[in-house]
Amino acid sequence: MAGECIHGFAPGTCLICQTLDPPKGAKPTKAATRAAKIADPRPGGQLEPQSGPRVVPKAAPRTGSPAVLKVIGVAVAVVIVIALAWAALHLVFAVLHIVELIGVGIIALYLGWVAGVHHGRKLAKAPRK
C-alpha cells in the first residue's frame, strides 16, 4: 500500500528503517560512534603525520580478544591437566589392585598349603582301622 515502508509500517514509526537509515542531522548512536573510533583509532584527524610502521593503530582495535583467548586456553589446559591426573591416578590404583589380588592369592596359597600339610601329617599319624 502507499505510505508504508518496505516493512509494512507507517513512515516514521518503523524502528527497522530508523535503525538502518537514520535521518540526516540525527545524532549518531553510541555504537556507531564506537565503531567509527575503532575503524579510525587516531584522535583528532591526524591522517598523515605518522611515518614508519603503523604498529599501534593496527593492534589497537584488537584489544580484548587475546585476553579472552588466553583465558579459554588456560581453562582448556587446566581441564586437560585434571583429566590426565585423574587417568594417571586411576592407572596407579588399578596397578595397586592387581598387586593386591596377587598378594591375597599368594597368602591364600600359603595358608592352604600349610593346612594341607598339617592335615596330611594328622592322617599319617592316625591309627588305621
Binding residues for Zn ion, total number by CB under 5 A = 5
> Would you say how long the chain is, in residues?
129
Using CB under 5 A as the binding rule, whether residue 58 contacts Zn ion is answered as no
Q: Which of 4, 11, 17, 122: binder of Zn ion (CB under 5 A)?
A: 17
Q: Which is nearer to Zn ion, 14 or 42 (CB)?
A: 14
Q: How far is the CB of 78 from Zn ion (least distance, A)?
A: 49
Q: How far is the CB of 6 from Zn ion (least distance, A)?
A: 6
121 to 1, 5, 107, 129: CA distances (angstroms): 115, 111, 21, 17
Using CB under 5 A as the binding rule, whether residue 5 contacts Zn ion is answered as yes
Q: Which of 4, 13, 16, 76: binder of Zn ion (CB under 5 A)?
A: 16
CA atoms within 13 A on the CB side of 61: 12
Q: How far is the CB of 5 from Zn ion (least distance, A)?
A: 3
DSSP designation for 122: H
Q: How far is the CB of 33 from Zn ion (least distance, A)?
A: 24
Per-residue 3-state assignment (H helix, E strand, C coil) for 48-109: CCCCCCCHHHHHHHHCCHHHHHHHHHHHHHHHHHHHHHHHHHHHHHHHHHHHHHHHHHHHHH
Q: Segment 70-129, which members bind Zn ion (CB under 5 A)?
A: none
Question: Which residue's entry shows cell 509494512?
Answer: 8
Using CB under 5 A as the binding rule, whether residue 7 contacts Zn ion is answered as yes
Catalog residues that contact Zn ion under the rule CB under 5 A.
Answer: 5, 7, 14, 16-17
